[in-house]
Structure 1
Amino acid sequence: MRRGALQLYGHSHGRLPGNQQSCDVGVDVFGAAPVRLNQIKAYMATLPPLVDPEVGDDIEHDLPRPK
């Protein structure tokens, strides 16, 4: 993730919110039609940015971190 890789997944039926690096690309999200990578990237650009937990913003709702 830290190197800019895109993480594409499906079968979550649009229930996972995603961010600018990860996205549900299942048919529930894109209208039951195949999509091109440039369409996926354009959609991902509209999503919230990736939050880096090591900087203090925990995407897991500020759960305590193991020591």
Structure 2
Amino acid sequence: MASHDGIPDRPRRGSRALPWFTACVGLLALVVAAVLALIGHAEVAVAVGAVGVAVAGGGLRVTVNVRR
């Protein structure tokens, strides 16, 4: 059984902002995609929308564990 080497179970305060930031970036990308589609830039709207869906859906996640 591996030990946790002092890694806390609960994240620090600063990491609470990450889900809000991720949700805002995803929402902003989807709004920008809708505006681009309305003004006639369909190809760019698809690309921006894909990025928004990937970010909002959790398609991109990075976890770093630092051991001292």
* TM-score, length basis structure 2: 0.26
* Larger-gyration structure (1/2): 2
Greater share of residues in helix: 2
Greater share of residues in strand: 1
* TM-score, length basis structure 1: 0.26
